[in-house]
């Protein structure tokens, strides 16, 4: 009896320790998700060829400080009591940023930061102008994608922003409706965002408009996983044919 009675407290203690471990792990995960890194998946082609549908990213949430939109559920339970940014760090032109769509402050968008507060932005004949100066670009190898099993070649350019940030853009339609725009004057405390897939992006040239500073959620840092869209992260049995192995653990530029 004594040996059995001694075993019961030990068994109870082991279950108690396991429960504590699970709770602590959950709390740590919540803290990391809330304050440091958030997973994000790419649902559309607006950032091709930089980001592809099926890419999974980690977004660094402390890059620009914190606002109510940095936290889950719009800053719940603080809600509208949170305004502006805290521990603010200004973003850098060319950053790939996740932000809340200004028209509903709920939907997550991801685009590249092109225009800073006070800038004038315009597209003319498919070329980007910032403060009246054309942004240099050079032709590089075509972006090749599969459509109905056939290779489709899309003209691709390397564009270099003021400050030196270089990245790739696509020109799907040489005379597209977004190739010529009005002049956009970026207000104070707002930013102008554009997709790298220039002719297939809903961005600050259209409904997105200027993005308030407090809507910035974080900077896209690294792809931790990628599939061709035929498998989700948890569908392990589909990975061998669906995973894009060359994109795993690569930096977002």
Residues acting as catalytic residues? 46, 111
- β-pair partners for 167: 159
Rounded CA-CA distance 195/202 in Å is 8
* CB 127 within 8 Å of CB 137: yes
Cβ atoms 64, 218 nearer than 8 A: yes
């Amino acid at each position: 009896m004594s040996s059995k009675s001694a075993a019961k407290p030990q068994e109870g203690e082991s279950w108690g320790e396991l429960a504590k471990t699970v709770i602590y792990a959950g709390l740590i995960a919540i803290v990391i998700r809330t304050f440091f890194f958030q997973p994000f998946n790419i649902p559309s082609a607006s950032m091709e060829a930089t980001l592809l549908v099926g890419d999974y990213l980690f977004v660094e949430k402390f890059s620009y400080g914190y606002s109510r939109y940095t936290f889950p559920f719009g800053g719940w339970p603080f809600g509208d009591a949170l305004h502006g940014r805290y521990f603010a760090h200004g973003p850098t032109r060319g950053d790939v940023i996740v932000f809340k769509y200004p028209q509903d402050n709920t939907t997550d968008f991801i685009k590249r930061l092109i225009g800073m507060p006070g800038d004038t932005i315009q597209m003319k004949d498919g070329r980007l102008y910032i403060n009246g100066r054309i942004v240099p670009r050079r032709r590089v190898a075509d972006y090749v994608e599969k459509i109905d099993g056939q290779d489709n070649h899309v003209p691709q350019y390397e564009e270099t922003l003021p400050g030196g940030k270089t990245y790739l853009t696509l020109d799907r339609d040489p005379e597209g409706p977004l190739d010529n725009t009005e002049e956009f004057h970026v207000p104070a405390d707002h930013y102008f965002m554009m997709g790298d897939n220039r002719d297939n992006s809903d961005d600050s040239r259209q409904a997105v408009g200027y993005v308030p500073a407090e809507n910035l959620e974080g900077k896209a840092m690294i792809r931790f996983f990628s599939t061709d869209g035929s498998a989700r992260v948890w569908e392990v049995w589909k990975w061998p044919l669906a995973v894009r192995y060359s994109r795993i653990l690569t930096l977002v530029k």
